[in-house]
């Protein structure tokens, strides 16, 4: 069944534009509450389901938190609110509190005037499809308040941030510390602003923090993993050993070495995978996506590490990891999953796994970065008049095959339709930048000819 409201990452959009409105969010809370009360949670008789609600630092978060609480309580569910916390922190608190679900109010790396609602299961993972579909079906029903004695209660969890800080620290080896490291943290004026600095400071690092003054309107504004140039400048100015940038809700991370060079998610994934493999601690292989740089695939293959690609999106990385019973995967955007440490992608925990590799190997981040120089990757977006079936045009297939023959295994061609815009994305990567650029332009010209625009 196709979904009406849920996308790959919950419900997201512009604040004030349906469905990101207070009345819809209240109804969403009610619908989720009714579905949760009908599910078999093995609760004691007369016990209400429990839902944890967290949010990032957007000004609209307060409004939507109140709406969600009202809807859930009206549906007969007890609620615990944490205030601003990273998305992966809510996954952790949901599991730790033995709650039946967790909800995060966030639009991740988007600007402040977007927002969204994302659900976690009791296991701290994405809600199963059948539960999302049941909530959507319930949204079509009239909202009828449960009897007064069954209305849910709401309480605040005062120490949620402290618990999460300790959880993050527990993923770093007891025998190691970060003493002697000067680290710049960029918290994107987002949900990690009061959590990330204590984690790295308490492990011994000298911490310089930027992007830690949220005002409700400045989340992701010229800071964080979507604007790493701010961190690159700060690392050089402060003569720091490295820098770490999170996005607004803390599930993505990028890093900067002491020379101000940016390392993306592919390079960070390589560091974690290589370090674990060299110590016999890598369970299975590594999962990337269709956009993962070919240099990572080649480097892992050379080391004897299995690698598979999932569709773009961290939910698909997670699905393939679970199917293979592997632990490590990620995207070049900085979503990195270490399933032996946490059930969801977590920027702080991923950064700690990279720092573990640095401390255990005595190599700097720059040293590690030089081990995996990324291949040039050219992406051209071709506007089209209407969606076309890419595999039904012989002319297009011939152009792709010609490019692949020219690359002869040293590069890669990817054609995919945008899921949100009338565009065909042409991506070519390889070791020769000029050749990659020419091949991408040649294929884009054929797409334009076949599809029009």
Q: Which positions are annotated as active-site residues?
A: 108
Beta bridge partners of 310: 289
Distance (Å, whole) CA 357 – CA 271: 7
Cα gap 202→187, rounded to integer Å:
17
CA–CA separation, 353 and 269 (whole Å): 10
In this structure, the chain runs to a length of 453
Is the peptide bond prior to 19 cis by the omega test (within 30 degrees of 0)?
yes
Distance CA 7, CA 25 (A): 15
The two tokens of residue 344 are 């969801």
User: How many other CB atoms sit within 10 Å of the CB of residue 390?
Assistant: 16
- For 63, residues 6+ apart whose C-beta sits below 8 A from its C-beta are 22
Q: Where are the alpha helices (DSSP H) in 184-313?
A: 196-202, 229-237, 265-278, 294-303
List phi, psi (to 5°) of 149. Answer: -70, -15
Please report the beta strands in 22-147, taking only residues with DSSP state E, as ranges in sequence order: 50-55, 78-84, 101-105, 114-121
The residues that bridge with 329 in the sheet, in sequence order, are 287, 337
* Cα(252)–Cα(254) distance, integer angstroms: 7
Distance (Å, rounded) from C-alpha 235 to C-alpha 343? Answer: 31
Question: What angle separates helix 87-96 from helix 347-361, to the nearest 10 degrees?
Answer: 100
């Amino acid at each position: 069944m196709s979904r009406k409201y849920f996308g790959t990452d919950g419900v997201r959009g512009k604040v004030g534009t349906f469905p990101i409105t207070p009345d819809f969010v209240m109804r969403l809370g009610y619908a989720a509450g009714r579905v949760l009360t009908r599910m078999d949670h093995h609760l004691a008789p007369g016990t209400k389901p429990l839902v944890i609600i967290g949010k990032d630092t957007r000004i609209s978060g307060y409004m939507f938190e109140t709406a969600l609480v009202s809807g859930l309580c009206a549906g007969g569910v007890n609620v615990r609110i944490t205030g601003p916390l990273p998305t992966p922190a809510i996954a952790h608190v949901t599991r730790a509190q033995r709650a039946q679900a967790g909800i995060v109010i966030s639009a991740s790396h988007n600007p402040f005037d977007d927002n969204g609602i994302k659900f976690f299961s009791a296991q701290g993972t994405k809600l199963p499809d059948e539960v999302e579909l049941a909530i959507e079906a319930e949204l079509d029903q009239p909202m009828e308040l449960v009897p007064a004695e069954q209305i849910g209660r709401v309480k605040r969890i005062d120490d949620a941030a402290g618990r999460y800080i300790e959880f993050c620290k527990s993923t770093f080896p007891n025998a190691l510390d970060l003493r002697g490291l000067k680290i710049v943290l960029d918290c994107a004026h987002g949900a990690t602003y009061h959590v990330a600095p204590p984690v790295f400071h308490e492990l011994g690092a000298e911490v310089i923090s930027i992007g830690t003054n949220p005002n409700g309107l400045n989340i992701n504004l010229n800071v964080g993993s979507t604007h790493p140039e701010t961190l690159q400048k700060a690392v050089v100015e402060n003569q720091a050993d490295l820098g770490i940038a999170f996005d607004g809700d803390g599930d993505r991370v990028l890093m900067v070495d002491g020379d101000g060079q940016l390392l993306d998610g592919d390079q960070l994934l390589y560091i974690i995978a290589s370090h674990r493999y060299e110590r016999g601690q890598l369970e299975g292989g590594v999962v990337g996506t269709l956009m993962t740089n070919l240099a990572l695939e080649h480097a892992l293959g050379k080391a004897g590490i299995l690698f598979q690609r999932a569709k773009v999106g961290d939910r698909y990385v997670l699905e393939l990891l679970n199917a293979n019973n592997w632990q490590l995967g990620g995207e070049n955007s900085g979503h990195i999953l270490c399933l032996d440490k946490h059930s969801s992608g977590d920027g702080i925990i991923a950064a700690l796994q990279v720092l573990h590799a640095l401390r255990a190997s005595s190599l700097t981040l720059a040293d590690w970065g030089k081990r995996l120089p990324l291949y040039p990757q050219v992406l051209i977006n071709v506007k089209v008049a209407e969606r076309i079936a890419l595999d039904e045009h012989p002319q297009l297939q011939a152009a792709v095959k010609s490019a692949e023959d020219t690359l002869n295994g040293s590069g890669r061609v990817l054609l995919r339709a945008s899921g949100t815009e009338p565009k065909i994305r042409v991506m070519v990567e390889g070791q020769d930048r000029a050749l990659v650029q020419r091949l991408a332009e040649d294929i884009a010209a054929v797409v334009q000819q076949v599809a029009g625009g």
